[in-house]
Chain A
Amino acid sequence: AQSVTQPDIHITVSEGASLELRCNYSYGATPYLFWYVQSPGQGLQLLLKYFSGDTLVQGIKGFEAEFKRSQSSFNLRKPSVHWSDAAEYFCAVGARSGGYNKLIFGAGTRLAVHP
C-alpha cells in the first residue's frame, strides 16, 4: 500500500540555520512527489514537486528537495531558515489512478524558528 512517513513531528531551528525535513515514501512505481507548506488555519501551498529527470528540484522560498530512489526518500532542505518559514510541512506522493493523482500525505512536520 502507498504511504508517506515524516519521522519528525516537531523540529526547532534557529533563524539562519540550515534545515532538512525528512520524508520517506512507499509506492510501487515511479512516484510523483510533492512538498506543501501550511500556515496556521490556512490551506496548503505548493513548495515543489518531482516527476522525473533531475533528482534535485528547486522550489519557491529558497527550498529544494532531493529524490533518492534507493532510499525511497524525498527530503526537503533550505540552507538558511527565516522566521517566516515557521509552519507545518507536508510531504505527499501522488497515487496515480486512471491518469489522475490521489495525493497521500504524511502526518506533517511542524517547524518552529527561534530568533
Chain B
Amino acid sequence: DTGVSQNPRHKITKRGQNVTFRCDPISEHNRLYWYRQTLGQGPEFLTYFQNEAQLEKSRLLSDRFSAERPKGSFSTLEIQRTEQGDSAMYLCASSLAGQGGDTQYFGPGTRLTVL
C-alpha cells in the first residue's frame, strides 16, 4: 500500500493558462474524491468518482474545471483559463466502498499558484 500520490506537488502558472493535475489512488480503492483548500480554511468538496463514473460535482466546480477518471484508476483535474482565485491546494482522496464507513485517505496535495 503506497498511499495516494499526486503530481505535481507544486504548480506555478500565469493567469489564463491551462493546468492539469494527476491523482493516483490507493490501488484497490474504487472511490476517488477531489477537494480544494484555500489558505486558512478547511478542504471543500469538489467532485466524487465511483470507479470511472463522476457521480457528484460541487457548485464550486465551474465550467472551467473538468475531472476524469478513465478506467477507474488514476484521475486528472484540469483547470482551463486559470484565474488568480484558483490559487489553492488541490487534494485528492480515495476510499474503498463498504469498508470502514468510506474512510478517505488523502494524498499530499498539489499547490497551485496563479500569477
Residues of A within 8 A of B (CB): 4, 32, 34, 36, 41-46, 49, 51, 90, 92, 94, 96-108
Residues of B within 8 A of A (CB): 4, 6, 31, 33, 35, 40-45, 48, 50, 55-56, 91, 93, 95, 97, 100-109, 111
A105 and B101 form a contact (CB under 8 A): no
Distance in Å: Cβ of B96 to nearest Cβ of chain A:
11
B44 and A102 form a contact (CB under 8 A): no
A100 and B97 form a contact (CB under 8 A): yes
Distance in Å: Cβ of A3 to nearest Cβ of chain B:
11
Partner of B42, one of A43, A92, A99, A101: A92
Partner of B48, one of A41, A42, A44, A102: A102
CA distance in complex: A43, B89 (Å)? 9
Contacts of B105 in A (CB 8 A): 46
B45 and A104 form a contact (CB under 8 A): yes
Distance in Å: Cβ of A93 to nearest Cβ of chain B:
11
A101 and B102 form a contact (CB under 8 A): yes
B41 and A107 form a contact (CB under 8 A): yes
A100 and B45 form a contact (CB under 8 A): no
Distance in Å: Cβ of B112 to nearest Cβ of chain A:
13
